[in-house]
Structure 1
């Protein structure tokens, strides 16, 4: 099979999610210890419950059995991305405006590579994040093409 396992899984799961009005957040195929895991993270506007995960898992498992893209044993996990949801696509970043985010960059911006604060603006090219430096709020502009990873951040007050 020439396509990557995650790409094949995405092709199989998207129609299932569309019927259920759910969205695909991410797919990972990872080895943990001696076991392989195919992890599918799903979400929706109303959130995800165990029943949603079970339904998607059951339907996807059938499709994976039919196409058989993985020739060795693995575990399929379907779950919510959790409160620290990754922001993989520009649409994800757009939806996060006004929320707390955690951003890592490929290269330093103002001598920093990690930024945590409130996402103020995103225009597709750059993010404006309001960070707290000691007791002062400061806005940092981060070019989108310099973002290595981004996720929602949980804050405790």
Structure 2
């Protein structure tokens, strides 16, 4: 997790959890003069529009006071959805056996994109089976990981 993401997580996750939700993960996309801060929330009974609005209101107040992002930005609060992004080793372990799409920050064995079955976690690495070959991908090298929904 980058320094800015860690700062935002440490600032926002306690507020999300105080409202009875799990802070599933945070994405911060700096896009020149206008950035996007997306906070994914989870709840055992599901996430509703009202739940997102409640969390958004609370986080907006915190962000206004703390002012961790310079310039304009948009705050989005969302459910992780069916193609849920994965942020932590615990989340990858939880979805062991599921199909996932993983993109690395830098190439590993000549490739950055992997699509396969999550086999689990070993130490600080995610084990992914792609075309009968297991890859151990360090969590710190993963730029983005998502579950591929089954219909």
Superposition RMSD on alpha carbons, in Å?
A: 2.9
| 4+ residue runs over 6 A deviation | none
Contact 2:23 2:39 in 1 (8 A): no
Q: How does 1:4-153 map to 2 (within 5 A)?
A: 4=4, 6-19=5-18, 20-31=20-31, 35-105=34-104, 106-109=106-109, 112-132=111-131, 138-144=132-138, 147-149=141-143, 150-153=145-148
Q: SS state of the match for residue 84, structure 1?
A: coil
Assess, with a 3 A threshold, how the Cα gap between structure 1 residues 104 and 63 changes in structure 2: closer, same or farther: closer
Structure 1 unmatched ranges of 5 or more = 133-137
The Cα of 1:54 is off from its aligned counterpart by: 0.6
Larger radius of gyration: 1
The Cα of 1:117 is off from its aligned counterpart by: 1.9
Structure 2 unmatched ranges of 5 or more = none
The Cα of 1:125 is off from its aligned counterpart by: 4.3
The Cα of 1:131 is off from its aligned counterpart by: 3.2
**1:86-136 Cα shifts (integer Å, max 9, x gaps):** 222211211110111112343343x5543212212322244433334xxxx
Q: SS state of the match for residue 114, structure 1?
A: strand
Assess, with a 3 A threshold, how the Cα gap between structure 1 residues 127 and 13 changes in structure 2: closer, same or farther: closer
The Cα of 1:16 is off from its aligned counterpart by: 1.6
Contact 1:17 1:24 in 2 (8 A): no
Assess, with a 3 A threshold, how the Cα gap between structure 1 residues 155 and 114 changes in structure 2: closer, same or farther: farther
Assess, with a 3 A threshold, how the Cα gap between structure 1 residues 31 and 107 changes in structure 2: closer, same or farther: closer
Q: SS state of the match for residue 40, structure 1?
A: strand
